[in-house]
A and B are shown apart, each in its own frame.
Chain A
């Protein structure tokens, strides 16, 4: 394969950042971000995601390791010589320049004289043509965000870095901009690296998500992979919610032709698909997402084969509209949550109702019991 046709992947190799005060922001990290992908670095504040991004942008000098784009090393390259542009969290628009001049800034610095046409096209892409001659402070937050995006995109960087670009917008605008960003990324086909602490945002937009925690990547995969098969309690709790129930691995078996791990969970033997079992012996956390837990009044049949539990009691009922969220106490005294779509098939169960519950074995996962069952809880929304 010739050099030119080789994919221009962004590759981080053993990249590490230790600050002068001794704090390790990023532990040696290996990551390959394929050319043209929409990649999200997801994690709570202080997890090292922004530091990683800033090292790629050249705004932070790595302590060790290397950064390459398509084989070209840029680890210690000056920021203004990298084929990389950033959309900053604060937008960092130049207040003394018009919107058009802000957008043209990068092109002009690279000595491109005639920028009018390119700038006009870019402003059209982000639907700001009418604002071209205004100053940034005359624009709304959403418009400023799009200027920041246009100002970076116009340079056609090999990698576009987005540092919590939607953080300052209100919820509705944020949802609209998420779809907009995704549309633009598909249209221009550049590699986007998006840093966010909002798991919903990461799942909506990214092809691949790396979940970071305490300077390390906890897990890497597609949004569906991470959600369905979290590898750690942190990922299980940070991406959505999980019920984690203590159990002991009993052995291995096959269920409907697929290999499973069997676990003694509070006296009931449950089975978990082998590929979702992250421990195969000793103690473990049996994980199940709340929407996968099916609830019915005690004694009534539940439409799911599998792990069946009796002796539960509803202790809290929240009617959300499209769904109802229950908290129920199990026979062994643990509180777990169950989300139910309001299909109308049955009325809402009042607190105090005795219930049975179940879940399909293929939806459960098994995590290492040495991990903190509450890791990543309440970190998603800041």
Chain B
């Protein structure tokens, strides 16, 4: 049979076109934004003057917000990993014939919009809601303490919203784990804790890395949870970008902030994946 040389290119073309139109072009425009002359406006237009001052400007003005975004994302990612691992492990090893039903339940929240689910948390965490009142009566929080409009609420929201993205890759890698290896470890004098540390954890590393990336990256850029559940004083960088773009119209600062976010995430991801020894995933 004659080799059709063009076939691979033809199959590759739609994806290439898609990436060009919806990734390369917008990315170029974002990069251009970040180098706009900050004096431009919607009437006179903007010039790319390679104004690197935009970066130092936003770093000094929004630095604490950037820091908060990463800090909250780190905490919620860690929570997602712990909660997700326990749940995924339980589903994979203990759920038996309920396995598929439980997995459907894990993704069930996706049937409702992200915004609506986050808004629903406002009710759960409300000052006169059952949760706050219970915690107050148990003296876990003070009698005038609240949950809504606190970092706790925002981080809880992030954790809740991205937890399924942690569970699924974790489940996949735990499910594949050869039970025989766990028996072998036990046979070779490893206690259950040692077996987990020496065998289960290293062998499920790909799932852990996948879960981390899928929860950490969207958490850093998320602003809905901070907006709806967090307090007005604890702003995250996502909120800044949103208001700079849509309210203030400061495209230069918005672009610079976005580029900073992107670069930091990229560097952290590469460092993390290398550290976790799973380069083959990228």
Q: Chain A: how many interface residues by the 8 Å CB criterion? A: 24
Complex: A110 Cα to B183 Cα, angstroms: 16
Is B203 touching A106 in the complex (CB atoms < 8 A)? Answer: no
Query: What is the total of A-B residue contacts with beta carbons within 8 Å?
Result: 63
Which residues from A are CB-within-8-Å of B11?
Answer: none
Is B202 touching A86 in the complex (CB atoms < 8 A)? Answer: no
A94 is contacted by which of B184, B186, B191, B194 (Cβ under 8 Å)? Answer: B184
A96 is contacted by which of B180, B183, B203 (Cβ under 8 Å)? Answer: B203
Say if the beta carbon of B185 comes within 8 Å of chain A. Answer: yes
Q: Nearest CB to that of B194 among chain A residues? A: A109
Say if the beta carbon of B144 comes within 8 Å of chain A. Answer: no
Assuming the contacts A59-B187, A86-B187, A105-B188, asked whether A92 and B181 have C-beta atoms less than 8 A apart, the reply is yes
Is B189 touching A88 in the complex (CB atoms < 8 A)? Answer: no
Nearest 4 pairs of A and B residues by beta carbon:
A92-B184, A106-B188, A109-B189, A92-B180
B186 is contacted by which of A80, A96, A152 (Cβ under 8 Å)? Answer: A80
Chain A positions within 8 Å of B, measured between CB atoms, are 57-59, 78-81, 84-86, 88, 90, 92-96, 105-106, 109-110, 151-152, 155
B188 is contacted by which of A59, A85, A90 (Cβ under 8 Å)? Answer: A85
Is B186 touching A59 in the complex (CB atoms < 8 A)? Answer: yes
Which residues from B are CB-within-8-Å of A92?
Answer: 178, 180-181, 183-184
Q: Nearest CB to that of A105 among chain B residues? A: B188
Chain B positions within 8 Å of A, measured between CB atoms, are 178, 180-181, 183-191, 194, 198-199, 202-203
Is B188 touching A109 in the complex (CB atoms < 8 A)? Answer: yes
Q: A92-B181, A96-B203, A109-B198 are in contact. List 19 more A-B contacts (CB 8 A).
A: A78-B191, A79-B183, A79-B186, A79-B187, A80-B186, A80-B187, A80-B188, A80-B190, A85-B187, A86-B187, A88-B184, A90-B178, A90-B180, A92-B184, A94-B185, A96-B199, A105-B188, A109-B191, A155-B189
Complex: A93 Cα to B183 Cα, angstroms: 11
Is B190 touching A109 in the complex (CB atoms < 8 A)? Answer: yes
Q: Nearest CB to that of B190 among chain A residues? A: A109
Q: List 27 A-B contacts (CB under 8 A).
A: A58-B186, A58-B187, A78-B191, A79-B183, A79-B186, A80-B186, A80-B188, A80-B190, A85-B187, A85-B188, A86-B184, A86-B187, A88-B183, A90-B180, A93-B184, A94-B185, A95-B181, A96-B202, A105-B188, A105-B190, A106-B189, A109-B188, A109-B194, A109-B198, A110-B189, A151-B188, A155-B188
